[in-house]
Structure 1
Amino acid sequence: MKILVTGFDPFGGEKINPAIEAVKRLPDMINGAEVIKLEVPTIFGKSAAVVKDAILKEKPDFVLNVGQAGGRRMVTPERVAINFQGGQTPDNSGQAPQEGPIQVDGPAAYFTQLPIKEEVAVIRKAGLPAQISNTAGTYVCNQLFYQVQYLREHDFPQLKAGFIHIPYLPEQVVNKNAPSMSLADIVKALTAAIGAIVS
């Protein structure tokens, strides 16, 4: 069994992104499942292409995309990806997203196939705050979440996929009034969540 776990590179002027830093530190095996780790660019469209290539190469049973949600104080498995992109923050190509649908022939939304209630339960059991989120935003995180679901529907029907948002790291909030979580705790939370996913 394999799970492909992705993390975004730094964006928005940040020097670090907790997503890829945590993903890189995950164990190579969790509950008997091989963990494939992948850095993806914070670029609309390109991130999904990188993930598709990895799916074709690795043939995972699960895909878990991980992204930073600055301002959240909990680890938040996402329930739904919406067919909309927008916002004013440029991605790492320097382009702000064109507001509108991600896929013109796609449904309004996709629900994750991952056991998000169980993910929250095991993260809390590990002593860390977690709750289900019903919005992945409209930036690259939601776009990648939606695109992987679209790929699943059209090309990889056996795949189960989902998304988890994580808080800032402490060093990112030195000059911000925002909550944070240590890298060790984020890794602990993701490891617990992956254990629930592959069980």
Structure 2
Amino acid sequence: MTARRTVLLTGFQPFGGEQVNPSWQAVSALQGARIAGHRVVARELPVAFGTSLKALRAALKEMQPALVICVGQAGGRAQLSLERVAINVDDARIPDNRDQQPVDMPVIGDGPAAYFTTLPIKAMREALHTAGFPAEISQTAGTYVCNHVFYGLMHALRRQRAVRAGFIHIPYSPAQASAHPGAPSLAVETVTQALREVVRVALATRDDARIAAGAEH
């Protein structure tokens, strides 16, 4: 079945003692938006191993989207982090919202070691810079629920090559950062605007830009 002209954006519920999660705040603001002829649908995922993937798979089956971008909070990061790779490891530093704390467990038991994003992340980064948004290519999505969802997303779409998908981490919101002295932040409204640009570029770009965006460490 061919993908519909739908873009699926997901954010997360609050976790780790936070009262809000800017990923859901930013994503939900785009619910129903039209971008490049596609309709945006936003879904909130639980911060829970296993359950998050069940919710994501249900959304994929329902929407049959042409593009999927999952968004999560990464407190301490200063820019939008366009994630390059998801690894097949759950190794939780803190319990999830269901008090689960897997250590050195695979996301998918018989899955490959890693999946790469199919988003044009370098073209997206360049477009974000041109528009004045802080953005970077990230080489790790961690080993918590964000990576769990990213890996599960790519595994679910592994045979649907026409459907582009990936993950973006965003900083704390200013309200959150006030409780974390010295932590960088980015306004939720700014993140929403940046995500709109990301979706536009992802839908318009067939071949990613070949420009250096690696890391030394």
Name the TM-score class by shorter chain. Answer: over 0.9
In 1: Cα distance, 2:184 partner to 2:52 partner: 27
Paired position in structure 1 for 2:20: 16
The letter of the residue matching 2:104 is E
Alignment check: 8 A CA contact 2:115 2:154 kept: yes
Question: What SS class does the counterpart of residue 181 from structure 1 fall into?
Answer: coil
Paired position in structure 1 for 2:155: 150
1:115 positional shift: 0.5
In 2: Cα distance, 1:196 partner to 1:136 partner: 21
Question: What SS class does the counterpart of residue 157 from structure 2 fall into?
Answer: helix
Paired position in structure 1 for 2:138: 133
Paired position in structure 1 for 2:70: 65
Alignment check: 8 A CA contact 1:31 1:198 kept: yes
Query: How does the TM-score come out when normalised to structure 1?
Result: 0.96
Task: Establish whether residue 173 from structure 1 lines up as the match of residue 177 from structure 2.
Answer: yes
Structure 1 unaligned segments of length 5 or more: list them: none
Paired position in structure 1 for 2:167: 163
Aligned residues: 198
My pick for the range that moved more, 116-125 or 3-12, is 116-125
The letter of the residue matching 2:192 is V
- Show CA shifts across 1:98-153 (max 9, x none): 32211121111000111001111111122111011010000000000000111112
Question: What SS class does the counterpart of residue 132 from structure 1 fall into?
Answer: strand
Query: How does the TM-score come out when normalised to structure 2?
Result: 0.88
My pick for the range that moved more, 15-24 or 183-192, is 183-192
The letter of the residue matching 2:173 is L
1:10 positional shift: 0.4
Structure 2 unaligned segments of length 5 or more: list them: 205-217
The letter of the residue matching 1:100 is M
Q: Percent identity?
A: 44
Question: What SS class does the counterpart of residue 153 from structure 1 fall into?
Answer: coil
Question: What SS class does the counterpart of residue 10 from structure 1 fall into?
Answer: coil
Q: CA RMSD in A?
A: 1.2
1:157 positional shift: 4.5
The letter of the residue matching 2:145 is V
My pick for the range that moved more, 37-46 or 95-104, is 95-104
Question: What SS class does the counterpart of residue 104 from structure 1 fall into?
Answer: coil
1:79 to 63, 69, 84: 84
1:34 to 36, 39, 43: 39
Question: What SS class does the counterpart of residue 96 from structure 1 fall into?
Answer: coil
In 2: Cα distance, 1:104 partner to 1:56 partner: 22
1:194 to 193, 196, 199: 199
Alignment check: 8 A CA contact 2:93 2:144 kept: no
Question: What SS class does the counterpart of residue 35 from structure 1 fall into?
Answer: strand
In 1: Cα distance, 2:161 partner to 2:122 partner: 22
